[in-house]
Structures are given as C-alpha cells and as structure tokens.
Structure 1
Amino acid sequence: MASVANPELKWDLTPFFPSITSPEYRDAVSALPATIGGLEQGLAELASGCTPSKLARFLESYDSSYRSIYLVAAYTNLSLSTDANDQDAQKAHGALQPLMVRLGKFGKSFDALIGSLDPSVWESDEGLADFRFVLGRIHQAAAHLLSPEMEDLAADLADSGNNAWGKLYDDFSSNIQAEVNGKSMSVSAIRGLAYSEDADIRRRAYEAELQAWKVNEIPLAAAMNAIKGEGNTLAQRRNWPDLIDESLFRANMDRASLEAMLEAARESFPHWRRYLKAKAGLLGHTSGLPFYDLFAPVGDSKAWSWTEAEDFVEDGFRSFSDKLADFARHSFDHSWHDVYPKQGKRDGAFCAGVTPGVSRMLYNFKESFNGASTLAHELGHAYHNLCLKDRHAIQKRTPMTLAETASIFCETIIKRRAIAESSGGEKLAILEASLQGSCQTVVDITSRYIFESEVVKRRKERALTPAELCSIMEEAQTATYGDGLDPQKLHPYMWAAKPHYYSDRAFYNFPYMFGLLFSLGLYRVYEESPNGFHDRYDSLLSRTGMGMAADLTQEFGIDIGDKAFWQGSLAVLIEDIDIFCGLASQS
C-alpha cells in the first residue's frame, strides 16, 4: 500500500541532498571542477604512454569520478523536472552547464585517445577482458570524431545550441496552459483527459490541446529545426552517412536488423487497423477511430488508484521472482516515485538512476490500467539500473534498443497476468488497454520513425515551417494507422507533444518497438524454459552495454536479423487482436 507518510506521493530526494540550496549540495558542486580536473590530468598522463595497467587504473578513477559527477547532475535534473518554475533549481541547472560542457570535452578527448591506441592494449590483457567490447566500440567511433579543436568548439556551442533548445522545449511545454470546460489546465493534464470515460471531455481536451500547440507552434518548431539542423551538421562533419546510421551505431544494431523489424511491423498493420476499427465500433464511430479516442476506455474498465496499481504490480512481479517484487516494494516504501501531474511538472514518465542501483521515477499518473502498466515499465528501468550497479561507468553505456528490455519485460508480466485473470467486460477493457499500448509501440512508433526520417531529410535543405511539420506528421499517421483512424481527426501536432524529438539522441523511437518485440520473445523463452532463466536474465541486464545486440540476444536463441523472429513476437499480439475483435463483436 502507498505510504501514509507520503500522501501526496512525491518522491524523496533528501537521501541525496537535503535541498538544492543546502551546503551539502553546494559543496558537491564546488568539488566538481577538481574532480573533472583529475580526470583531465589522468588522461594526459595516459596519453604520454598507455599500458594495460595504466589504462586499468585510469578506468577505476573514471568510474569513481563519474559517480560523484552523475549524482549532482541527476539530482539537479530531478529537482527541475517536477517544477520547471523553481528558480533555485533553474539557477543550479544553469550553473552546472559549463561543467557539463567541460565533462563533454573530456569525454571526446578520452574517446579520441582510445581511437589513437593500438587495440592490442586491451585485447591482449585479461585484466581488461570485461572492457574489450566497449573500448573496441569507442575505438571504432573515434573514426567519426572531428579534430580536437573542432570537438571542443562543438561542446562549447552545445550549451547555447542543442542543449539550450532542448531545455527551452522542456520549460516552455511544461508551462503551456489551455482551458477545458472553463478550467485552465497544463497541457500534460489535458493530455491525460484522453483516458476519461466522458466522450465529450475527451473531444474537448483534444481540441484544446491542438489549439494550445498551434498558439505556441513557432518556438516549438524553432526548437525542432535547431536540434535537427545541428544534428545533421555534426553527423555530416563526423562522416556519418545519415543521422540514422549514427543512431544505429549507438544502438549496437545494424540496419538489416532494423529493416527486418520494420518490415514485420508494416506487415502487421492490417491487423492493427482491425483492432482500431473494432474499437471505433464500440464507441459509435463509423469512419475510423478519431485520434482523441485512441486512449478511450472500453468494456467494464475501472479506475485504478495508485495503491491498487502498486499492489497489482508487486503481486505480478512476485509471480516472476521474489527479487523483482521485493525491489518494487522497497521503491514504494522509500518514496522513489513522483506520481501526479501538476503545473510546471514535465509531461510523460521516466526513470532516472541516481546512485548505483538507486533510481527515481516520475509519472503523470492516470487512474487506468495504463497507469499501472506505466508503473511496471518504469520499475523495469529501475530494476535494470539495479542489475548494472556493480558495473563500471564505461560498461553502463546501454544502447537505446536494450535500454527498453527490462521495462517492457516487466510490462509484459503485468499485462499477461491481467488478461489471464479477467473475463467478460473486464477482460475486454484490460485486453484493449494492453493492445492500446502495443499499438502505440508498433504503429505509432513507426509513424514517428517515418516522421523523423522525413524531417531529417528535409532539414538538410532548409528549416521547416510549423505547417510543414504538421503535414509530415499527418502523412506519417495516415501511412501507418491507415483507415483505422478517422482521416479528419488525426493529431498533426504530435511532433510538439513528444519530448523525444528534442534531444541530441535522434531516432529515439525504434528502440521502443525493439524492446517490446524482443521482450515478448524473451518472455516466450521464459515460459518455455523457466529453469535458470532468472540468473541469465539478470546477467543479460548487467551486460547490455557490453556486447552487440545481436550477440547478446543470440544467447537466448534469438536472431534479430531474421524477420521470422519479429513476426513470431507480433503473432502474440495478433492473437490478442483476434480475441479483442471477437469480444467486441459480442458487445
């Protein structure tokens, strides 16, 4: 049950620092220049003559320094994420940025040094065996670095370029207000009304949201153009064929595997359109589902309080392992979660590691099964952080693809349990909520991939207008959702609503689909061969930054380059669609 000592369900950051104005926080920030200076000095010494033993010692120093730096950075970002208007947090964040720029420069210098070394330095030494993969990848990536002077300049400019535009988006979008039924609300709260049982409220919220984005479209489009423009420029200068190639490299994934997954997804679209049209019929629509009813509850759906979500997730996790369930309970008892939306709070949900094995999770909780599913998702990320806690910082560079493995695996545990234990109208509601999320991950993610691909392509020529961004988004939605959606009721401003577009990590979309379909395949392995699975699973999570995705997945007999694997995972979802359509036809 939720702690009565924390009735507002806010996270507790005091185990890290008493407050952002505390002497402890100021002292930690004051120590950072010396910490970064120590790394810079160590790197200079390493450059003067690198041996396996010197490299091993430096990596130990790198790890301890990174932990202290990351604690301060994570705490600062968490403080700001719940209140973009907190002046103290704003000032602290601003003061930290020059240090982060300096740290970024160090990182590029480290990568350049590794790139200049003979790989035999780490390949021939058993003491560096666990670092071979990541050092090898850094060595390969170094071929895409600019000169040291140019990388320094890029790092300096990021503070007033890419990073500044991303922060503008976060601050600006967190404070956008609009009225629904005469009540002024944040846009994140308005988006939450998409889950309302009241059809009129859902429609009004959708209209208010679109109007709010339209009124504020110019600065949001400017941020999009700046970030994608900078990304294109740097990718070109660093000799990447395209931004997607850089993203695939970071994901430890090849283009053939991506295309196999996307092709399997495209082949499944007719089934998703069947689901959408069946849902539209339940809600009385004849021309496809309007976007504002994508998240509408159907069947005998109930409101899920946070306490109910906690208990259901903990019990579901226990059916998999006591370790996972006990971890979830520990996070509830120690206030790791910030639950409800409020003015100035960042939209969406995320999990952030703060210290080894210790995380904090933010939500804009909606009292629906989707809310419980999101809780399971973020706890999966936190569990992944737990499995990584004994790894060195350099080994924790988990690619985007495998970063979603634990989160969606945990979602799968909860969804399969909920579907199995329900019947009648309740089963219809839970099944629909599950399909709703999977549709977003397969269909909507593909639309986002199509949208970003087109924006990146056109941005090479010139900046795009808000109207063009809206047009590209509608075209992407039509290409994926097809006649499953009402063509007159799309969401042209989804480019403004999704924060993933506003960071330096381009194409943070396909990893979600990878995570869902890989996790379904992994869950099938668990069901078929549960003995010994838990240890293998934890080991996989502890090594997600230590191997190519294809090699790590092969340990479970999974070939991600084979379209048949992705089709097998999608077949599980298509079975759910068949059941849903059957139940819907009886309603």
Structure 2
Amino acid sequence: MTDVRDLPRWDTDTLFPGLASRAYADASERLGADVERLVALFDRHGVGGGEPVDATAGDVAALDEVLGATNAVMEQLRLLEAFVHALVTTDADDAAAAAEQARLDGLGATLDVLAARRDAWIARLGAGALAGASPTASEHGYLLQRSGEAAEHLLSDAEEALAAELRLTGGLAWARLWGELTSRLTGTLEGETVPATVLRGRAEAPERAVREAAWRAEQEAWESISTPVAACLNGIKGEAVTMNQRRGWPDALAPALWANGIDRPVLDAMQAAVVASFPDFRRFLRAKAALLGAPGALAWWDLVAPVPGEAAISWAQASTAVEEAFSSYSPQLRSLARRAFDERWVDAGPRAGKRGGAFCMPVRGTESRVLMNFSGSWDSASTLAHELGHAYHNTNLASRPALARTTPMALAETASIFCETLMTAAALDAADENARLALLNVDLQGACQVVVDIHSRFLFESAVFERRRSGLVAVPELCELMRSAQAETYGDGVDPATYHPWMWVLKPHYYFPDAHFYNWPYTFGLLFGLGLFARYQEDADGFRADYDDLLASTGSAPAAELAGRFDIDITDEAFWTSSLDVVRSRIEEFVALAGPGAC
C-alpha cells in the first residue's frame, strides 16, 4: 500500500502563489471593486421587485448588461473561493485562510441579495416575455423561468438583505464551526493518537479486530464533540425552518425539491423502488457476514470490510485503473484523468487538519481540484473515478456562462456515478472468480451506502426538521433518531447493537446551509447513472454523441427533460426499479460466489 506521505497533494500555486501574494491581493481587490460596481449597476437599472410591467427594449438591454456583469463577477469569486477552500479544507489551523473565507462569504452574501433582487425584477418584467428577447436572454432562458418561480417565495428587498447578512453569523458560521471541529478531531487507537479520518479509513482494514477497535475509537471521538456539533445542527436547521416558513414553503423538503427541479411524484416513485429493494440489500449484508465468518447480521464495522481475496491497491495502481477504465469510454475522458494527474489536481492522502470524505470543486475554465482520503482499497480507487467524473462534468459545463452552470444536486452526480460504473464494469470484465467476488463486494457496499444508508439519512433529516419546528433537538434525541432511521433501512441486515448513532456528527451534508436534504440526490444520481449506462451499452456511439451535451445542459434544463433525451421517464417507478434490478443481479452473483452458508 502507498505510504500516506507519498500520496499526491494538489497544486494551488498555479492559481495563486499564496494567500499573502501580490497576485491574490490584486484579484481580491478587483473582485471587491467589481461587486461594488455590480451593486451600483443594479441600483441604476432599478433591479428589484414591484408591480408587474411590460418589458421595454431598454429593460431588455438592462437585462443583458446585468446578466453579463453578474457572470463576470461569479467567475472571479469562483476562483478565489476555490483557492481559499483548498487551503481551509487541508489545514484546519490556517487562521488567515479561515478569515479570508469569512470575507468571501460576505461578498457571496451580497451576491445572494442581488440574486433575490434579480429574481423579483425578472418576475416583474415577465420571465416569459424576456426569454427570447435577446441572444443573452435566450442563453439564460432556464434561469429566467426559474427566477419567475423563485420570486413567489421571496421576501421584500430589505428583508432579503437582512436575511443574507444574518446568515453570515448564522448558518454559515455554524457550518464553519462544524468544519473546524471535525477537521481537528482525533481518536486513540492502540495507544496512538490519530486523526478521525484515519480511524474512518481503518474500516477497510483486513483484520476484523482492527476494524472493531477503530470503530469503537471513532464512536468515542465523535461523541466527544457531539454537544457543539448538535448546536451547529440545531442552528442550521433552525435557520432553515424559520426562512422556509417566512418564504411560504409548506415544509423543509419542498424548497430542496424545487432547487433540484424535481416534482414530489418523481421522488415518491424513486423512494418506493428504493424501499422495495431493502430486503435484497439485507440479503447481501447477511451473505457478507457469513463470508467474513460471522453468520447472522453484519456488524457495522464490517460494512466496508474487504472480503477474502480482496487485495490492497497502491495509488499508482488506482490511477492506472481509472485511466484504463476511462479509455474504454472515450479519449476525451481519458485525457481528463491524465490532465488531473499531470497538473496535480488531486489531494489524495488523509492527515491531521484535513477534512474527511471527498469532493471535487470547479476552479476556473475547465480546471477542477479533487480532495479525497485514499486508503489503499478498491473503494478508494472508485472514489477517485467518482470525483474525476465530477471534473469531467465541469469541463463540459465550462463553455456555459456562470449563471447557466448552476447544476442541481440531483444532476450533479450524473457524470460521477457514470464514471464509477465504467470503473466497475471494466474491472468485472477482466476479473476471475475470486477477483469478481471482491469487486462485487466493493460495488455492492457502495450501492448499499447510496441506497440504504442514504435513505436512513433522508429519514433522519426529515425527523430532525419536524422536531426542530418545536424546539432544540438534544444529543440523546439526535442519536435515537439516527438509530431509528438505521433500523428502518438496514433492518436485520446489520446488528442493531452496532448501529452508528453518531452518523449525524460526521456527515458534512447535514451542515450545508444552502443544500438541505443533500442525501436522496445521491440515490437519484446512482439510479439515473445506471439507467444512462444501460443506454450506453445499447448504443455506445449514439450515446457518446449526446452525453456531453447532456452534461453541458444540467444547469439549463429540468431533470425530466434531460432524461427524456435518452427515453428515460423519471416519473415512472418502473425506471427506478429497472436500475435497481442491475444491483439485484449483482447481489445474486455475490451470494452465489459466497457459497453455501450465505443467505
């Protein structure tokens, strides 16, 4: 296995030589001045709410100017935010970066206020009338449509400005605190103090005793910060409850569905198929337990354990496997991976002060940066493919203006899941029987996370929002809600005595103040991705011709319309069931390969 010290770290010097550099200071000063000019532009054109009027030629010209100037500022802010975020997420002790992130959050809050004014203005002028009024308006047609809808839930201009200011010391401040607490967290394993990210990585250790010891150490670590993290969660969800009520949303889920361009019947169809699949996943979990020599329900610390025959993988092997899998699809996808490695886009290894998990962020043009915590497992290699799938998505979106690149969460997982599926398919095609069992284990434990565990997170967040409406939710209750959600989803597939009551402490998705219910979109992405992969297998050349355009359009059209381009009906439960049938077939093969004792 690759030594953690030898794993690559991302290159941020090509963005700016440093936070204290002249180049960063100039870019920061220019951004601040341009934000001020943008505010003045909005004021000059009277951008804001009011009584409906018929748009004039002057209004259309003003719209073109406003959209162009907003796109330019958003491009600048994206680069600075990405650079600072790269510093903050890899070094919790970088106080200067943390302070700069707070300053950029302030500029972002100003843009949020302007966005609310712009939505109200577009609704006042008539989104439909503006849509084809100029080439610029046409290019932003979906944004105009969404602005008209968003305006129905806007407060007054003054209230929106106040809400944006308060958010800096509310949701965003709580989110930063969660990040600092979890980045610094350590635990004790075998007498040694190690980062929590390392403890999480030990869940993939081949020795069962090591996995259990790491799980117990992890439980103690998360519990040690549970009180301040509960305050973070209550603060973020409480802010959302208040704002949703003021904006006239019927519940906390409604704005998340709207933000994703998804109707509730679509979610209901997907969730019905998901719940129907739980017995199949529980069968996989029990079969894995038997394979590991512990018949019955699987212990939590064995959820992502390797099975016999599963070998460690080095970073060089992982990156080569990704390149080869991507090559099987297209030269463009392979070259994206090669570029990411050559230009050092990836920060791979766990270390003290670094955030857990993995993400990919766009930086500028077609560039991205990827954070992950490589552990030497095939699952880590799949994570690399997943995050580079996001990077490929970013390259396809790069030609669109900033306002037309905003992709809903449900569609943001499209390319990442597709690339993971490519990786799995390529590996299975080349594997013998023993290797197939190991690969199926990694694939199915990943699917189990995205279908079963994600649904538990959905149930938990739904319950938290419901309880938060009437008051603070204390640590014991949060843990009980988590156990209840895991019981409803994992059932007898996992030993209830080993449920993970602290999962709400460690998962970052609960602490995104602008992205509540960032759970079911992963399931949507997996099952939509499997559906797309089926279309690819049916007609590879025809699929390639349309796929990049789909990725470039995720911020410019609703999900149902994009799915329709591939004859996929996301309102039909049968589509979601057919995608889960692919997973079921792999469960059947896993159980058969696991042998007699597996159920």
User: TM-score scaled to structure 1, two decimals?
Assistant: 0.97
Q: Deviations over 1:40-82 (max 9, x none)?
A: 1222233377532332233222212211122111111111111
Equivalent residue for 2:24? 25
Aligned to 1:242, the other structure's residue is in SS state: coil
Equivalent residue for 1:545? 555
d(CA) in 1 for partners of 2:104, 2:140: 30
Equivalent residue for 1:12? 11
Stretches of structure 1 lacking an aligned partner (at least 5 in a row): none
1:94 aligns with 2:93: no
| Mapping for residues 115-134 of structure 1, pairs under 5 Å | 115-125=123-133, 127=135, 128-134=137-143
d(CA) in 2 for partners of 1:413, 1:53: 46
1:53 aligns with 2:61: yes
Equivalent residue for 1:535? 545
Contact map agreement 2:132 2:141 (CA 8 A) in 1: no
2:328 is aligned, of 308, 319, 333, to 319
- Figure out how many residues of one structure are paired with residues of the other and give that number: 583
CA gap 1:95/1:65 in 2 versus in 1, 3 angstroms = closer
| Mapping for residues 152-551 of structure 1, pairs under 5 Å | 152-504=161-513, 505-551=515-561
- Aligned amino acid, residue 531 of structure 1: D
d(CA) in 2 for partners of 1:336, 1:185: 26
What's the offset of the Cα at 1:126?
5.2
Task: Out of 562-571 and 61-70, give the one that drifted further.
Answer: 61-70
d(CA) in 1 for partners of 2:489, 2:114: 42
- Aligned amino acid, residue 126 of structure 2: D
d(CA) in 2 for partners of 1:215, 1:345: 18
Contact map agreement 1:279 1:289 (CA 8 A) in 2: yes
Contact map agreement 2:60 2:134 (CA 8 A) in 1: no
Equivalent residue for 2:52? none
Aligned to 2:368, the other structure's residue is in SS state: strand
d(CA) in 1 for partners of 2:492, 2:224: 29
What's the offset of the Cα at 1:566?
0.3
- Aligned amino acid, residue 506 of structure 1: H
- Aligned amino acid, residue 394 of structure 1: L
- Aligned amino acid, residue 89 of structure 1: A
What's the offset of the Cα at 1:103?
2.4
Contact map agreement 1:356 1:388 (CA 8 A) in 2: no
Aligned to 2:297, the other structure's residue is in SS state: coil
d(CA) in 1 for partners of 2:89, 2:486: 30
- Aligned amino acid, residue 96 of structure 1: L
d(CA) in 1 for partners of 2:296, 2:210: 20
What's the offset of the Cα at 1:576?
0.1
What's the offset of the Cα at 1:586?
5.2
2:564 is aligned, of 536, 549, 554, to 554
d(CA) in 1 for partners of 2:259, 2:22: 38
Aligned to 1:532, the other structure's residue is in SS state: helix
Task: Out of 55-64 and 549-558, give the one that drifted further.
Answer: 55-64
Contact map agreement 2:284 2:587 (CA 8 A) in 1: yes
d(CA) in 2 for partners of 1:250, 1:261: 17
Aligned to 1:241, the other structure's residue is in SS state: coil
What's the offset of the Cα at 1:132?
1.4
- Aligned amino acid, residue 404 of structure 1: E
d(CA) in 1 for partners of 2:83, 2:565: 36
Stretches of structure 2 lacking an aligned partner (at least 5 in a row): 48-55
Task: Out of 318-327 and 32-41, give the one that drifted further.
Answer: 32-41
CA gap 1:8/1:526 in 2 versus in 1, 3 angstroms = closer
Task: Out of 42-51 and 410-419, give the one that drifted further.
Answer: 42-51
- Aligned amino acid, residue 370 of structure 2: M
d(CA) in 2 for partners of 1:320, 1:237: 48
Aligned to 1:488, the other structure's residue is in SS state: helix
User: TM-score scaled to structure 2, two decimals?
Assistant: 0.95
Task: Out of 404-413 and 63-72, give the one that drifted further.
Answer: 63-72
Contact map agreement 1:111 1:139 (CA 8 A) in 2: yes
Contact map agreement 2:452 2:489 (CA 8 A) in 1: yes
- Aligned amino acid, residue 256 of structure 1: P
d(CA) in 1 for partners of 2:194, 2:306: 22
1:114 is aligned, of 93, 102, 122, to 122
- Aligned amino acid, residue 575 of structure 1: S
Equivalent residue for 2:157? 148
Task: Provide the alpha-carbon RMSD of the alignment.
Answer: 1.4
Task: Out of 130-139 and 435-444, give the one that drifted further.
Answer: 130-139
